[in-house]
Amino acid sequence: MLTYLAAALALVVFVLPSALRPPAEQSNQSAELSPNAPHNHQQSIIAALQAASSGTQGSGFGPGNVGSTGGPGPGLGAAPGGPQLASRYCPYGIGGRQTFSLYSAPCAPSWSGDNGGATAPGVTATQVRIAVGYPAANVGTNGPVTEPPNSNQNKSDFTWSVVQQWLNSRYQFWGRSLQLYVVNDSESPTAESQVAATAYNTYHVFAAEEGRVTTMQDMAHYGIIDFAETLDQFSDAFLNAHAPYLWEWHGSTTQMMKLSAEFLCKKLANGNAVYAGDPTIQAKKRKFGLVYDGQNAGTGPTEQELRTFLAQDCGLQLADAIEFPYVEYNDSASAQDAATAVSKLRADGVTTVVDAADWLNSDYLTNSANSQGYFPEWYTSGEGLTDENGGLQNSAEWAHAFGISGIEIDGGDLSFNPQLSDGYIAFEQIAPGASQDNNILVNLFYELEQIANGIQEAGPHLTPATFEQGLFKIGVRQPVPVWSVGGGYYPDHHAYADDVGVIWWDTSADSGTGGYDGAWRWVHCGRRYGPGQMDSDTSQLFKAGITTRQQAADAGSGC
């Protein structure tokens, strides 16, 4: 799937209350820090992170080493010999985690000894090679990422250098360090195949963070671990067929269809379409119609999965299931496909559109529905990324949108407020105040964290099989705090997110992004639901809910 528009934006750093993120990392020479450290003071997280970054380990950048213009300043550098390894027990750990991130691996022990050397392709006694890239835009100079960062680099190269230094100084890699290689991609099957070939033939990598289905299939063929970029979504069948090589951070399309079936059966089936925008439709018993992207090796079979889960849960039948051609965007054909789909949905009496189409196709659909005077209920399924791009849909139609989302609260707004992302916080710990590439920090960093988790948990003998077992060993985390994603990896489950929140679109709300009008409201303070946990409660739909994680923190036990 295509990602949403992710051009890096110039943003003003704001004061982020510490309740919204774990406490800042601190150097810890003997044991993990207490998870109960007070964090009720309303302070700037940036200031806290700057203070934390003053420790000696992993130094190179630090407060006072950044030029006043916001770019890298003079005097920047690490100790001779390259990156410093996190060889002590959890040197920057928080609450039993290796790093500040809620999604970090647990603290690693101290270690010294023989790591086995070249245990797998792309692995030596001192290095693990990783390919990185972003299909929607170039993110730096092709080739090896240098370390430490320096003032002569462009913004993207500088950001990669900071990220590499952060990973090597925070994690336990058993005597090795990560060496990143930028391999830029573009949205075409030919370019996607070339990315995998370059990663394999030129850079000889062990793992990659390179999205899109063709790239990922080819990576698996070459025996390379590959994480989809943040906004890719694939089915469990696709990921499992390429185990142990292919992974994703987002919830799989299979998981979203499973949870959607539960939502439709428990909350909507046999009721009237009361959330539609047309009084005539509101008075009718619901008829469901699915719209989804065409089948390909990665995202299908959406229709089959939803029909199967509906049959298992309550025997509900779909009145329509309309497939869009795969990857057909921004052209007259897409608009015509949408117009045809809307005409059929309307003619067949569909009251509730189950939207599993890509967000761009959904844009065409909602605009066409508005043109044809068709105002049904729009159920957003967590597949297709409309939960991350709600403000880009037709506002008159989207006033009747609701459903589920597997992302963090505020997660769809990270391009507008990157300060909320793990990548931005990590960057500030190494190069506070410097200019950064937010495509890297927002869209690619979470997957790199997971790759680092897997390498650490694999132990000294690193192979694709021990990497897989390492991620499985971490287990499943609960969604605490409530705005975070609950999930993990386990056999036949190579997509992280397990649970979802219930959302509805408030056209008058402001999520604080400045990017568009309206925002998703998360009912019951963002409570998350895993398989089997959905209830029948619809009392807060189009009536109540929070739009930001700050509101969840402020409500506290009041939720």
Q: pLDDT tens across 128-174, in order?
A: 999 999 988 899 999 999 999 999 999 999 999 999 999 999 999 99
Which runs of consecutive H residues, i.e. helices, occur in 53-178? 155-170
Lowest-confidence segment of 58-67, 340-349, 475-484 by average pLDDT: 58-67
Say which DSSP state 289 is in: E
Residue 473's pLDDT band (cuts 50, 70, 90)? very high
Under 8 Å between Cβ of 332 and 362? no
Q: What mean pLDDT do residues 343-365 have?
A: 94
Q: Whole-prediction pTM value?
A: 0.84
Q: What Å distances lie between residue 15 and 182, 219, 456, CA to CA? A: 33, 41, 33
270: left (phi > 0), else alpha (psi -120 to 50), else beta? left
Q: What is the pLDDT of residue 546?
A: 92
- pLDDT over 70 (residue 52): no
Q: 528-529 and 500-506 as β-strands: parallel, antiparallel, unpaired?
A: antiparallel
pLDDT band at 559 (very low <50, low <70, confident <90, very high): low
Q: Is the pLDDT of residue 78 over 80?
A: no
β-bridge mates for residue 225, sequence order: 207
Is the Cβ–Cβ distance between 323 and 365 less than 8 Å? no
Say how many CA atoms lie within 13 Å of 391 toward its Cβ.
Answer: 20
Maximum average pLDDT range among 420-424, 480-484, 491-495? 491-495
Pick the CATH number of 253-405+499-558 from 3.30.300.30, 3.40.50.2300, 3.30.1330.10, 3.40.50.200: 3.40.50.2300
CATH code linked to domain 18-250+414-488: 3.40.50.2300
Least confident of 36-45, 85-94, 463-472: 36-45
Three-state secondary-structure class, residue 503: strand
What is the mean predicted confidence (pLDDT) over 9-21? 35
Amino acid identity for residue 110 in this structure:
S
> Count of alpha carbons within 13 Å of 69, Cβ hemisphere only?
5
Q: Name the phi and psi angles at 474, rounded to 5.
A: -60, -35
Q: Name the residue ranges covered by the structural domains of the chain.
A: 18-250+414-488, 253-405+499-558
pLDDT at residue 494, rounded to an integer = 98
Dihedral sign computed on CA atoms, order 328, 333, 334, 338: negative
What is the pLDDT of the chain when averaged over all its residues? Answer: 83
| Of residues 32 and 243, more confidently modeled | 243
pLDDT tens readout for residues 367-404: 999 999 999 999 999 998 888 878 888 999 999 999 99
**What is the pLDDT, as a whole number, of residue 279?**
98
Please say whether the beta carbons of 192 and 135 come within 8 A: yes
Q: Do domains 18-250+414-488 and 253-405+499-558 have the same CATH topology?
A: yes
- Take residue 155 and report the two structure tokens written for it: 């913004």
Residue 423 has pLDDT above 80, yes or no: yes
Q: Is the pLDDT of residue 550 over 60?
A: yes
DSSP state, residue 349: T
Across 296-312, average pLDDT = 87
- Average pLDDT estimate for 54-82: 31
pLDDT at 356 > cutoff 60? yes
pLDDT (0 to 100) of residue 76: 32
DSSP code at position 157: H
Phi/psi region, residue 387 (left: phi>0; alpha: psi -120 to 50; beta: rest), is alpha
